[in-house]
Structures are given as C-alpha cells and as structure tokens.
Amino acid sequence: MSTIPQRPLRADARRNRARVVAAAAAAFAETGLDAQVEDIARRAGVGVGTLYRHFPTKDALVAALAEEHFERLADTVEAALEDDASGDSWEAFTTTIWRIADTVAADVAWCEIVGGHPTAVQAASRGQHRLAAATSALLARAQESGQMRADVTFGDISTIMCGFGHIAAAQRAGAALDWKRYLDIALDGLRAR
Amino acid sequence: MSTIPQRPLRADARRNRARVVAAAAAAFAETGLDAQVEDIARRAGVGVGTLYRHFPTKDALVAALAEEHFERLADTVEAALEDDASGDSWEAFTTTIWRIADTVAADVAWCEIVGGHPTAVQAASRGQHRLAAATSALLARAQESGQMRADVTFGDISTIMCGFGHIAAAQRAGAALDWKRYLDIALDGLRAR
DNA sequence: CGTTAACATGAGCAACGGTTCCGCTTAGAC
DNA sequence: GTCTAAGCGGAACCGTTGCTCATGTTAACG
C-alpha cells in the first residue's frame, strides 16, 4: 500500500527531499541512528517541518535510507557475480566482502539497522532478498571450487558482517579495535581445511 | 582517589546497595545500557533517591558493574590457566572462550561497555589488565603448541568478543543470527594452517 | 502578471529520563 | 527509652528530542 503521488513533486520540493536524504545519510553514518532530526534538517538547510513533510516520522526516514543501502549492496554483489564468469571464485568472494566492508565501515547506522530496527528491515526486504540471492550464488561457487567450508550459509555471512559493523563503529568511536584484522580472521575461518 | 568511608555503612544501607547492584546487573543484562534508572530502582525495591545516594550518577553505577564483570572474567581465565598445567593447550583456549561466551551472551550491556563507555572502561582497568595478561598467557601456550596462528594477539580476541557481544544481543532481540555459529567460525580463523 | 495550491518555516508542545531536594523514617549508640 | 545522624522515598525539576501547526513564501499554470 505504497503512496503513489498523483502529481510529480514541485521542483523545490524534489530538491529539498534529496537534500534531506543526503543529510540524513551523512548524519546517521557519523553519529548512528540517534542523530537528531533537527541536526539532519540543519545539514540539509531546511526546517524540521520540511523534513516531516517528506517523511512522516524519523523511522520512515531511516527505513528509506536502509532500503537504498541494501539495494546498493545488492548491486555490488550482483556485479561481482557477473564479472567472475571465470576466475578464482574464492578470491571473487573475498574481494567482494572487502569491498562491502569498506562501505559498511563508513556507516555507523548500518549495524544498528541490521541488528534490530524492525521498520527499516521490513522496508528493505526487497534489497535483502536480492543481496541474499546474489551472495548465496557467489558462496556456492567458492564452495564448488573446494576453497570454502561446505557448511557456510548466507546467514553466516550476515552474522559476520553484523559483528563487523559494530566493531567498525566502536573503532571509529575510539575503541582499540581493528576491523581489518577482524575480517582477516573471520574470512580465514570460512576457508576449507 | 577512591572514597574510603570513615564509618561502615549502616546495615540497611548495605543491604539496599547490594539490591541496587543486583537489580542494575539484571536490568542492563536484559535491556542494555539504556535501561532506565527508575526501572532499576523499582526492581531493587527502593526509591531513585536511594540509588543516587549510593551512586552519584548512572554512569558510576555502570562503571561499578563493569569493574566487577571484568574481575570475574579475569578469574575465569586465570583459573583455566592453572588447570591447564598439562594438556591440549588449544582446547584449553577454546573451552575458556566458550565459557566466557556463555557469560557474555547473557549480558546485553557487555559490548556497549567495551565498545565505547569511557567511564566504565577506565574503572575496569585493573580487571582488564588481569584479563589481558591471563588471556595472553593462554594464547601463548596454544601458539607454542603450533595449533594457533602465530600472529594472534589479545587485541584480536577482544575484537572478536566485542563482535560476539553485539551478535548475541541482536539475536536476543530477535535478529536471525547465531552466536554459536559465529564463534565456531571465528575460532577456526584463529587456528594455524 | 495574478492566482492559488503546494510548500517551507521554526517556535512551541509533550513525553521522556536523569538528577535533585526535602520531609519523613529508622538503625544504632548511649 | 531517647536522641540523632544516616538513610530513604518519590514528587518535582529540567534538559533533551521527536513531532505539530499557524503563518509566511513561492513554483507553476493561465
């Protein structure tokens, strides 16, 4: 039951909406999900009222961003899937993960969404399914080549990436942690012996 | 510059302090660090004023609990270190980690503290040092036996456990994650090839 | 231009949660 | 038993934050 606008948005409204989305993405990435609405509006150069005209609630804004974020990730993995028509499938897998990691590490809000924001998770279900399908395919190839543990599932990958997101966030917040090291170890744990 | 009370606490005050600590531990374990002060007081069967008589601030309460938590963990690892005078040192290491994991998995607040609560981290520094020393020793043995990657440090273990804490918390909150699976993979990543 | 519906604004409202304060209670010393 | 300082309770306080609404502004169409 999505709201399909009868008339397209007025030019200024469209511009403002885009600004809000960009500002929110930046704010959430920096501060996490508890970035303040007023701060987002200020960054976007609009009033809070304008923000609320486009998104009925803060949750809805988060959900919209989550949706976009998942779609982008799915794009990345699907692209990797095509590029890797032939080649080392284990390496195709790991480089994809490292690429995703770079994106996720820059976004504090990521893990907060994955690990328990019902509205956002629901909104992003389409992207999540695409992501799951593509990742599973990449996974299957690496397993067929005998380089990856045979029992690894997509769920394992999302678990690892969820932990990853928190570690990256904590590191950014000043904790003595190292997300590269973490990924190195975790990926090693996925290899066949 | 710790405050040493000139006179011992009155009997009822001592009892109430213990109740507050227990209630706070339970509340933080269930809800995480944003458990409400009023809720903690209610669980303890005291007024908020009483809570604030014993702990000047919510942060201080968190710090006190963190301190105790780290000391307990250090106890666990030190005990393992003694038990393992002879035997399979890799297994000694992994069983210790699994034991710690059980404790940590039951406590949502754990990772929030490790990953960015300055007051608590500072208060727990003694326990952290004990924990670091004991874990490093356990680690060294497993490495000497050739079963663990030679480049693993204590920092790696705390990174892994930090991720672990968040995954366990998210799982408890309903996310489709599996902390046992995670540990299984991460520990495998620590083994030598 | 003139008109108007769409849009923007930001002070202000309400809820929430940590902290304080003061009148009352009680453990414990004599 | 009496006294008093230590302790207790919880209503009130206050800063914070998501959200609303009355008022002012402007894109877009004729």
B20, B23, B24, B27 alpha-carbon torsion, rounded to 10°:
-160
Among A97-106, B25-34, B80-89, B152-161, the minimum mean pLDDT is found in B80-89
Categorise residue B73: left if φ over 0, alpha if ψ from -120 to 50, beta otherwise: alpha
Distance between the alpha carbon (CA) of A38 and the C1' atom of D20, Å: 14
A6: pLDDT confidence band, cut at 50, 70 and 90?
A: low
User: What per-residue confidence (pLDDT) applies to B39?
Assistant: 98
Whether A154 contacts A132, CB under 8 Å: yes
Question: SS3 for B161?
Answer: helix
Please report, rounded to a whole number, the percentage of residues in chain B having pLDDT higher than 90: 83
Name chain A contacts of B178, Cβ cutoff 8 Å: 155-156, 159
Residue A24 has pLDDT above 50, yes or no: yes
Q: Is the CB of B12 under 7 A from strand D?
A: yes
| Alpha carbon of A181: minimum distance to chain B alpha carbons (Å) | 7
User: What per-residue confidence (pLDDT) applies to A1?
Assistant: 41
Q: Give me chain B's average pLDDT, please.
A: 93
- DSSP per residue over B40-81, as a string? HHHHHTS-HHHHHHH-SSHHHHHHHHHHHHHHHHHHHHHHHH
C-alpha A64/C-alpha A60 separation (Å) is 6
Whether B120 contacts B55, CB under 8 Å: no
Q: Is the CB of A10 under 7 A from strand D?
A: yes
User: What per-residue confidence (pLDDT) applies to B6?
Assistant: 65
Model pLDDT for residues A101-138, shown as the tens digit of each residue: 999 999 989 888 887 788 999 999 999 999 999 999 99
For chain A, how big is the Rg over CA atoms in Å? 19
Name chain B contacts of A193, Cβ cutoff 8 Å: 193
C-alpha A80/C-alpha A92 separation (Å) is 7
**Residue among B128, B157, B166 with most chain A CBs within 10 A, to mutate:** B166
Model pLDDT for residues B30-70, shown as the tens digit of each residue: 999 999 999 999 999 999 999 999 999 999 999 999 999 99
Distance between the alpha carbon (CA) of A49 and the C1' atom of D20, Å: 9
Q: What is the pTM of this model?
A: 0.89
Position A57, amino acid: T
Q: What average pLDDT does the segment A155-176 reach? A: 92
Q: What average pLDDT does the segment A181-186 reach? A: 98
- DSSP per residue over A50-118, as a string? HHHHH-SSHHHHHHHHHHHHHHHHHHHHHHHHHHTTSS-HHHHHHHHHHHHHHHHHT-THHHHHHTT-H
| Alpha carbon of A5: minimum distance to chain B alpha carbons (Å) | 34
Q: How far is CA B89 from the centre of its chain?
A: 23
Model pLDDT for residues A26-85, shown as the tens digit of each residue: 999 999 999 999 999 999 999 999 999 999 999 999 999 999 999 999 999 999 999 876
| Alpha carbon of B112: minimum distance to chain A alpha carbons (Å) | 9
Distance between the alpha carbon (CA) of A37 and the C1' atom of C10, Å: 13
Whether A100 contacts A75, CB under 8 Å: no
User: What per-residue confidence (pLDDT) applies to A173?
Assistant: 85
The residues on A that touch B, with CB distances below 8 Å, are: 111, 114-116, 149, 152, 155-156, 158-160, 162-164, 166-167, 169-170, 173-179, 181-182, 184-190, 193
User: What per-residue confidence (pLDDT) applies to A174?
Assistant: 85
Nearest CB neighbour to B178, from listed A159, A175, A190: A159
Please enumerate in sequence order all residues whose Cβ is within 8 A of that of B15, keeping only pairs 6 or more positions apart, or say none.
Answer: none
Q: What average pLDDT does the segment B117-134 reach? A: 95
Q: Is the CB of A15 under 7 A from strand D?
A: no
The residues on B that touch A, with CB distances below 8 Å, are: 111, 114-116, 149, 152, 155-156, 158-160, 162-164, 166-167, 169-170, 173-179, 181-182, 184-190, 193
Q: What average pLDDT does the segment A8-22 reach? A: 96
Burial of A53 (0-12, 13-18, 19+ CB in 10 A): middle
Name chain A contacts of B111, Cβ cutoff 8 Å: 166
Q: A185 and B181 in contact by Cβ < 8 A? A: no
Residue A8 has pLDDT above 70, yes or no: yes
Residue nearest to nucleotide D26 (CA to C1'): A12
Task: Fill in the DSSP letter of residue A173.
Answer: T
Whether B174 contacts A116, CB under 8 Å: yes
User: Which nucleotides on strand C sit less than 7 A from a protein beta carbon?
Assistant: 6-12, 17-22, 26-28
Q: What does the block give as tokens for B193?
A: 């090839």
Residue B174 has pLDDT above 60, yes or no: yes
C-alpha A26/C-alpha A43 separation (Å) is 9
| Alpha carbon of B182: minimum distance to chain A alpha carbons (Å) | 7
User: What per-residue confidence (pLDDT) applies to B1?
Assistant: 43
**Residue among A104, A166, A180 with most chain B CBs within 10 A, to mutate:** A166
